[in-house]
Chains A and B, each alone.
Chain A
C-alpha cells in the first residue's frame, strides 16, 4: 500500500478540523459534541493506519516527507517539514490510538464545559502529532510549546482541588526547560550556517543529521545540556520530576492518561531525535551521568511509589520509575537499549494509561483514590478486576504481555554497557513487582471492609469498550513483538551508525536483538 497524498498533514490537522466543528456546535448538545470529538479522533486513527501499512521498514531515512516553504525572511528559513520514520511512526500510532480511548473514557466524567474540554483534547492531539512528525526544528518547537496550552486548560479547568498549583507548576517547569532549548536550537542553526557557509539560517533536521558540523567542545556540551534539560523535565527524569505527581493527581482521568500515555514520551522522543544524534561528543561525555540519574530515578520512583497511600500518586511515581528505564535504554547507546526504550515508551503509554483509566473507574464510583478505602473489590467488580490485573501485570513486565519486551531488551542493553547498570536496573523490576502487586492485593483482594464498596457496579459497556482495545493491544504487543521491532530497526541502526561514525571510534558495543528474538519466537510456538 502506498502513502495517501499528504497523509501526514491529514493526520496532524484532522483533529484541528474537528476542533472547528466542535466549536461551531451549540454547547447544549453535549452528546453530539462528544460524538463529534470521538469520530474525529477515530478518523485520525484510521488515517494513521495508512502510515502503518504503507511504511517500508527496509527504507532508510524519513518517509512520506512533506516540505513547503513557510517563512523565509531575515535570512532565516523555517519550513513546514514533516516526515515519519520507524521511531515516530509508533508514537504517532500510540497517540492516535489513545486519544479516542480517552475521549470515550470521559463520556460521563465531564459534564461541565463539554465543548471546551473536547476542543482542548483535539487541539492537543494536533500538537502532539505535529511534535512527533516535525522535521524542522522551529516547527517542532512551535508544536512542542503549543502542546502546553490545552494541557494547561485540561488540568486547570477540569482538575482536582489543588489544580491551580499543579497546573502552574507544570507550565513553569516545562517553560523553563524549553526556553533554553530555543536558545540552543538557534545556536545550533547558527553553528550549522557557519560550518556550511549557507547564506540562510536553516533548521532542517535532515541536513543537521547529514552533516557532521559540530566540533567537540564547550559549545556542543552547552547545547546538549540545554536540549537534555528541556527533555529531561518533560520525561520527567529524576531530579526534575516533582511536577509530575502533582499534575497527575490533579488532572482529570483523561488528562492523566494523555499525560502519561503520550506527553511524557515527548521528552524521551526528543532525547532520541535531537539530543542523542546531534551532539555525539557531548553525549559520549555525559551519557554515564545521565544513566546514573536514570538509575536513581528507577529505584527512587519505585521506592516512593511503594509508600503512596493514593492510587494515582502511586501510578504517577511508577511512571518516574518506568521512564527511568526508557532513559537508561536510550543512553546505554546500543541496539538493545534503544529498541527496548522505544518499545518501553509504547508499553508505558498503554499500561500506565490503562492503570490511570482503572483508577478513574473506581474514582468515578467512590470519589476517593485512597488505597485504604478499598479492599476486596474483586468480589463486586470481577470484570474490572481482570482488566486491572492485566494492566498491573503489563506494567510489571510479565512475559506474554507488552511490558516484558520493553524492560528485557533494556536490561540486556544495560548489562552489555556496564553490568552494574543492569544489576541496579533489575532491582527496579523487582521493586516494580512489589509495589504494583502489593497495591493490587490491598485494593482488589481480601475481605470487603467498607459497606460503600459492596454496591459498586462492575464495568459498564462503555467502559468495557475503553478497556478492551487497550488490553488487546497489550497482548498483541506481548505475543508478537517482531513487527514493532522490525519497524524501528532501520531508524535505530541509523542513529547508532551515525553516532559511531561521528565519534570516529567503534566504542559502542553492537548486539543483535534480532538473533534473540528469532531464537525466542519458535520457543513460544512450541
Chain B
C-alpha cells in the first residue's frame, strides 16, 4: 500500500501536460519579452496572451482525442470534465484579457506583468481542475492564488487595490493552511493516500488501517477551504471587498474563471465525500443550509449596493448558492440523476462565466482615469451615450436575473429541475423566490440606463475600445444563443459530467 511508484515519465504523460506547459512557457515568454523589448504600451502583449490562450485551448482539444483518462500516475486527470473546465477557464481568461485592453491604459495601470501573471494564474487553475491528487490540487491552487494576489494589487497607487490584495492574501493564506491541514488528515485517515481515486477505493472497501473520524475531519477542512474559494455564506466576507478593490478585469477573471475552477474541484471532492455514507447525510444538511444562506444573504445585501462591482460580487454569492442546489443533487442521489445535477452545475457555470465576464466588461468599459465606472450613477442614461453597450448590459442583466430567453434562465431551469427531482422542493422554492428578488437590482441597472437622463457630460474614453466592445458582443450573443439553442452545449456538459461518477 505504501509502495513508492518509480517515477516513469511516458510520452502519454508528456502530451497530457503539454497544454499547461505551453501556457506556462507563454506566460514566462510574455514577461521576458517585456524585459527585452520594453515599450510604453503593452497591448501587443495582450494580443499575444489572447493568442496563446486560444492556442492552448486548441492544443488541449486536439490532445483530448488521443489522451488516456489519467496521466503522471494519476496525478493529472484528463477526463472530459477536466477538458470542459479547462476550456471554460481559457475562455474566461481570454475574455478578461480582451476587456483589459483599453481599461488598463485608461487606468494608468498598463503593465506587462499583468499579462504574464494572468497566464500563469490560468495555468495554475488548469492544473487544479485537472488534478487527480490532493497534492496536485494544492499545487495548482497555490500557483493560481499567488499570481492572483499580485494581480489584485496591480494598481499600487490605489488604496483599495492594495487593501484588497492584503485581505485576499491573508484569507487565502488562512484557507491554504486549513486545506493543507485537512489534506494531511485525509492522508492519515485513509491509510496514506493522496490520490483521489485511491482514496475512493479505500473508502469503498473500508479496509483496515483507515480511521473514519480523522478522515471526516480532514474532509470537512478540505471542503471548507473550497467553500471559502467559491465564496459561500458564511465564508464570503472577503469577496465584496476584494472584487471592489481589484482592477475590474482582474475581478472579472476572479469572479468567473477562478470561481469556476474552484467549483469543479468542489464537485470532485463532493463526489468523494458521497462515498462516505456516514458523512454524506450530514454534509447534505450543511450544504442545504449554506445554499439557503448564500442565496438569501447575497441577494438581500446586493439590493443595497450602489457600486455595480459590489453588487455583482454579492450576486455571485447568490449564484454560488443556486449552484449548490446542483451540487446537493449530485451528493445525495445516484446514477443518472446525480449526473444531471453535475451537468446542470457545469452548464450554469458556463452561463455564469459569460454573464459576469460581460457585466464586468461593461464596468471596465466605463472606467476612466480616477473614476472606476462601477458607480450606479455612471449607468444613468447610458442608452443615449452608448446604445450598444447599454443593450449588451441589458441582455446580461436579464440573463443574470434569469428571464428567458437567456442562458441564465436555461441554467436555472435545469438546475432547479434536477433539484426538484432530487426532492429539494423548499430549497428550490427559496431559490426561485430569490431570483424574483434579484430582478429588482438587476433591473435597476437597466432602469438607469434606459429610463433616466444622463447626468453631465459623457466622458469619452481616451483609448480605443473596439476590442473590448467585441468581447462584450461575444458574451452577450453567447448568452442569448445559449438561451435559445442550448441543446448541443447541454449535451456536452452532461457528457463531461459523466466522467465524475466512479
Contact = CB atoms under 8 A, between A and B. Distances in A.
Interface in A108-165: 138, 141-142, 145-146, 148-149, 152-153, 156-157, 163-164
A205 interface: no
A171 B443 contact: yes
Contacts of B417: 74, 76, 186, 201
B443 A74 contact: no
A152 to B, nearest CB: 7
Contacts of A176: 433, 436
Given A157-B451, A168-B447, A76 B420 contact: no
By CB atoms of chain B within 10 A, which of A141, A180, A182 has the most? A182
Interface stretch (B61-69, B137-145, B234-242, B483-491): B483-491
A167 B447 contact: yes
B440 interface: yes
Contacts of A183: 416, 420, 425, 428-429, 432
Nearest to B404: A142
Contact of A75 (B336, B420, B435, B444): B336
Interface string B99-121: 00000000000000000000000
A145 B404 contact: yes
A175 B425 contact: no
A187 B487 contact: no
Contact of A153 (B414, B418, B450): B450
A181 B357 CA distance: 30
A438 interface: no
A190 B417 CA distance: 9
B494 interface: yes
Contacts of A152: 443, 446
Interface string B410-441: 00011011101100010011001101100110
Given A152-B443, A168-B443, A190-B420, A73 B428 contact: no
A72 interface: yes
Contact of B413 (A138, A149, A153, A168): A138
A142 B404 CA distance: 6
B409 A190 contact: no
Interface residues of A, number: 34
B217 interface: no
B491 A73 contact: yes
B310 interface: no
A518 B425 CA distance: 51
B490 A74 contact: yes
B229 interface: no
Contact of A180 (B418, B432, B443, B486): B432
B403 interface: yes
A164 B409 contact: no
Nearest to A184: B429
A54 interface: no
B292 to A, nearest CB: 15
B168 interface: no
Nearest to A70: B487
Interface string A181-197: 01100110010000000
Contacts of B429: 180, 183
Interface string B137-167: 0000000000000000000000000000000
A224 to B, nearest CB: 15
Contacts of B491: 73
B432 A142 contact: no
B433 A76 contact: no
B487 A148 contact: no
A190 B451 CA distance: 41
B340 interface: yes
Nearest to B428: A183
A179 interface: yes
Interface string A27-44: 000000000000000000
A71 interface: yes
Contacts of A149: 398, 403
Contacts of B336: 75
Interface residues of B, number: 37
A46 interface: no
Contact of B439 (A156, A172, A187): A172
A182 to B, nearest CB: 6
Given A157-B450, A163-B451, A73 B490 contact: yes
A172 B444 CA distance: 12
B343 interface: yes
Nearest to A152: B443
Given A74-B344, A171-B443, A186 B451 contact: no
A200 to B, nearest CB: 11
By CB atoms of chain A within 10 A, which of B409, B414, B447, B494 has the most? B447
B404 A190 contact: no
Given A74-B340, A142-B405, A156-B451, A182 B432 contact: yes
Nearest to A158: B451
Interface string B478-502: 0000000011001100100000000
A157 B418 CA distance: 38
Contacts of A168: 440, 443-444, 447
Contacts of A141: 404
Nearest to B434: A179
Interface string A69-107: 011111110000000000000000000000000000000
B137 to A, nearest CB: 28
Interface in B260-274: none
Interface in B369-424: 398, 403-405, 409, 413-414, 416-418, 420-421
B447 A146 contact: no
B455 to A, nearest CB: 15
A73 B452 CA distance: 42
A224 B418 CA distance: 21
A74 B414 CA distance: 8
A304 to B, nearest CB: 27
Interface in B443-485: 443-444, 446-447, 450-452
A228 to B, nearest CB: 16
B487 A164 contact: no
A324 B333 CA distance: 46
Interface of A: 70-76, 138, 141-142, 145-146, 148-149, 152-153, 156-157, 163-164, 167-168, 171-172, 175-176, 179-180, 182-183, 186-187, 190, 201
28 contacts: A70-B487, A72-B487, A73-B487, A74-B418, A76-B414, A76-B417, A148-B403, A149-B398, A153-B450, A156-B451, A157-B451, A163-B451, A167-B451, A168-B440, A172-B436, A172-B439, A179-B432, A180-B429, A180-B432, A180-B433, A182-B416, A183-B416, A183-B420, A183-B425, A186-B417, A187-B425, A190-B421, A201-B417
7 closest residue pairs by CB, A with B: A179-B432, A73-B490, A142-B404, A175-B436, A156-B451, A179-B436, A176-B436
Given A71-B487, A175-B436, A180-B433, 14 more contacts: A70-B487, A74-B340, A74-B418, A75-B336, A146-B403, A146-B405, A152-B446, A156-B447, A156-B450, A168-B443, A179-B435, A183-B425, A186-B417, A201-B417
